[in-house]
Chain A
């Protein structure tokens, strides 16, 4: 009866930012990114990609509640980098990886279909 609309899970409401950024008040080079209307799909690949970055000291995400349609991604880096830089780098790397994956798949598919 008072269930939220289904689209609430993936449509960002007007006036709400998709990604907001908040620096940690106590720890230098640490910040929390709040990503609206995303869940494990994005949270986990970002986290794992950030773990590959040597300058990232900590990267973790959480889905605070199943009915709060957002994830919190927390990053702490060394002074060589910054959470924002690490975050952008992770997205760029993942994006390139997916580009590569797409080309690989298309190539292999064409090869496979030729050999039939």
Chain B
């Protein structure tokens, strides 16, 4: 392909990584790429979720479809999802979606025999594939209290009630149904660029400086030991304009100027646990690449245009 390249070379700086959480900086690209990544992470990175439920016995208080819906929403470990097939284009099972290449089978068989209420949880789901199991939150890295961890409650049974079912989990994307979303939240913010006019700041009394610092709803500014107004945490700024309004009100427009850097983004990614946060970002890049590849012009389109082009040139007398 001829023509100059207009490619960019974005930079990344990782700040924090946990299994289901990460924060990183993305620089030297524009909002369209940042937003495309965000959108893909939320709605187009595939995961595995329960999609079909056959109920054998259900004498619980919840009706069949209610339970099926709850089963669908349980996050399953989905490291395999990227390499798995979608049921709709699986040749092995002719699209009925029940073969090993495109589905995972689960069984749930629980009956309450005691006088005490029995909690049926995601841990009672028996998987046919040890790589695809309900997400286990008992790993203490996330910090919340796990001492009483029993999985995700599906339904509660009293004496004599029973639940017996078979479930099929399939690969899917959240564009189809939100249960397939690997993302709990994905956000990005523009990095703020805060400029303080030092000369003008000197004309303020300490009292006025305190008022100015306190006018911001989040703690962006502070006062250092030399009584100078400094930026404490630029990223705490929520683009609320409150300090700027305060400057105006004090009759000092231009005392503080804040701009959003248009090529720097701070991403926060939280996952449901279906895939690791770092893997989610990589998968999103991969999915976006596949999408781009799919929108390349096919050869016959180019050919048809070439003929048209010659014809056009001919008609124009060329």
Contact = CB atoms under 8 A, between A and B. Distances in A.
Contact of A84 (B9, B289, B305): B305
Contact of B32 (A45, A55, A99): A45
B39 to A, nearest CB: 5
B36 interface: yes
Interface string A70-100: 0000000000010011011111111111111
Interface residues on A, range: 35 or more
Nearest to B7: A93
Contacts of B32: 44-45, 47-49
Contacts of B291: 38, 41-42
B67 to A, nearest CB: 21
A57 interface: no
Interface string A38-61: 101110111111001101000000
A47 B173 CA distance: 25
A109 B176 contact: no
Contacts, number: 136
A67 interface: no
Contacts of B31: 48
12 contacts: A9-B175, A9-B176, A19-B301, A42-B291, A85-B3, A89-B6, A91-B292, A93-B5, A96-B7, A101-B12, A105-B14, A112-B17
Contacts of B14: 105, 108-109, 111-112
Interface in B196-227: none
Contact of B308 (A23, A40, A53): A23
Contacts of A68: none
A40 B173 CA distance: 17
B25 to A, nearest CB: 10
A97 B294 CA distance: 17
Interface of A: 6-7, 9-11, 17-21, 23, 35, 38, 40-42, 44-49, 52-53, 55, 81, 84-85, 87-102, 104-106, 108-109, 111-113
Contacts of A96: 5, 7
Contact of B88 (A11, A48, A81): A11
Interface string B1-33: 111011111111110010000001000011111
Nearest to B297: A19
Contact of B10 (A90, A104, A113): A104
Shortest 10 CB-CB distances between A and B: which pairs? Answer: A48-B32, A52-B6, A93-B7, A112-B14, A44-B32, A104-B12, A45-B32, A41-B39, A108-B14, A41-B36
A42 B33 CA distance: 9
Contacts of A113: 17
Contacts of B24: 105, 108
Contacts of A6: 175-177
Contact of A7 (B36, B88, B296): B88
Nearest to B15: A112
Interface stretch (B58-66, B160-168, B279-287): B279-287
